[in-house]
Structure 1
Amino acid sequence: MSLFPANWADIPLASLPLLGPLALFALVSSITPGPNNVMLASSGLNFGFRRSLPHLLGVNLGFSLMIFLVGIGLGSVFQQTPGLYTVLKYAGAAYLLYLAWKIANSGPMEEGETRGKPFTFLQAAAFQWINPKAWVMAVGVVATYTPQNGFFANLVIATLVCGIVNLPSIGIWVTFGTALRRVLHRPAAIRAFNIGMALLLVASLYPVALELLR
């Protein structure tokens, strides 16, 4: 079976009813707390919305690219070489712990320029490949919402839908963090917020921790 449809009109109409559930899945998955959203909220507080835009766009486009690449076969690489996925997963967990430590030790707003820098576009895009939640979302989209008949066209549509829904969903977290800049003026309050975000980031690793305990 070819991934490419012989004719774009051959895309089955039966796949269209999946667009609504797919959009809902993308919304719920994108807007709920996870490593990306915790880091975006922290970036919004410490650096503001404008300086966090490369981070925001890197997450959105990096995740969309991840869905597409997983769909066209990258996931099968990990099926054939499970050890590679295991290494990537635990390396990602270690990196998340490092990021949590960095967030917890972030300075107040006026120190943001000297004590740290927001993620760049490429850093945020690359981060998706070691983000456990991003992997779960990408595999879920490909396995559940991408019909096999006319697969490539459906994969492109699913990637576009997820990208469109994801951007405003994660943008809310940057906006939330930025809005807190007007409320949290005291260094102690900012430090408490950053520590809270760091703890949420650590808590997002609970699936990896449970696997280690088994």
Structure 2
Amino acid sequence: MNSFILFLIIMSFTPGPNTIMAMLSGQNRGFKKSLPLNLGMAVGFSIIGIIIMLFAEQFGDNMKILFLMKILGSLYLSYLTYHVYYSKPAKNKMIILGFKNGLLVQLSNVKVYLYFITGLSAYSLTGKFGIMPYRLLVMVIMGSLGTLSWTLFGKLIENVYKRHYKIFNNVIAIFLIVSIIDLWR
């Protein structure tokens, strides 16, 4: 259970296409004007989650598919670890439009697919977390809280990140490595 919660926190609050867009929107437009973008992301998140939930049993029951997902997930998390570790603060600001942009970024976000495939099929949980719709709901809420928090603290995160990005990147890279190791337990 603890490893599942840690997985959700790391995947929901670490940088990815959606969190970076949310942060930039918060910086450029403020929290209130960024809500349509976040709503689009939440809808996209939900669509992907529901589709994967419908097939999660097939993923979980098929050891070959599960092994392949773990390999792909480990490779993607390694890719993220590398890029997070070596990344520097962005200098370009972009204009974020709204709902449609949020929806499209989620539907094309590999991190979201891996988030749901791993969270819904790789963990054997008991109690409420063993019930797929409940687990899906918790994952959607946690993912949405991640993007909302990056939006809310966009300007603050930008300033702190620019000053301390090496420390920030190192900590995130360590958490991503822990996630890779945890996938194989």
Distance 1:71 1:96, change over 3 A: closer
Determine if the alignment matches structure 1 residue 200 to structure 2 residue 172: yes
Verify the 8 A CA contact 2:56 2:117 in the aligned structure 1.
Answer: no
* 1:86 positional shift: 1.1
1:129 corresponds, among 79, 101, 113, to 113
Question: What letter is aligned with 1:89?
Answer: K
Q: Hey, what's the Cα distance between the residues in 1 that align with 2:167 and 2:35?
A: 23
Given that residues 50 and 136 in structure 2 are in contact (C-alpha distance below 8 angstroms), is that contact kept between their aligned partners in structure 1?
yes
Superposed, 1:48-87 pairs within 5 Å as: 48-49=25-26, 60-72=42-54, 74-87=55-68
Shift of residue 48, structure 1, vs aligned partner = 4.4
Identity %: 17
1:39 aligns with 2:9: no
Q: In structure 2, how many angstroms separate the alpha carbons of the residues matched to 1:42 and 1:207?
A: 18
- Alpha-carbon shift at residue 62 of structure 1 (Å): 4.6
Instruction: Say whether the 8 Å CA contact 1:78–1:85 is kept in structure 2.
Output: yes
Asked if structure 2 preserves the Cα contact closer than 8 Å seen for 1:45 and 1:177, the reply is: yes
| Cα distance in 2 between the residues matched to 1:94 and 1:163 | 23
Q: Is the 8 A contact 2:59 2:65 kept in 1?
A: yes
| Structure 1 gaps, min length 5 | 1-28, 114-118, 149-153
Report SS of the residue matched to 2:91.
Answer: helix
Give the distance between the partners of 1:195 and 1:205, measured in 2 at CA.
Answer: 15
Query: Which consecutive residues of structure 2, in runs of 5 or more, have no partner in the other structure?
Result: 95-103
Please say which structure displays the higher CA radius of gyration: 1
- What is the match of residue 14 of structure 1? none
How many residue pairs were aligned? 168
* 1:82 shift after superposition: 1.0
Mapping 1:1-214, distance limit 5 Å? 29=5, 33-39=9-15, 43=20, 47-49=24-26, 60-72=42-54, 74-111=55-92, 120-124=105-109, 126-131=110-115, 134-135=116-117, 137-138=119-120, 144-145=127-128, 155=133, 163=140, 166-181=143-158, 183-184=159-160, 190=162, 192-193=164-165, 196-197=168-169, 199-206=171-178, 208-209=180-181
Contact 1:38/1:200 (8 A) holds in 2: yes
2:101 counterpart residue number: none
Shift of 1:194: 5.6
- CA–CA distance in 2 between the matches of 1:60 and 1:86? 28
Partner of 2:108, secondary structure, is helix
TM-score (norm 2): 0.57
Q: CA RMSD in A?
A: 4.8
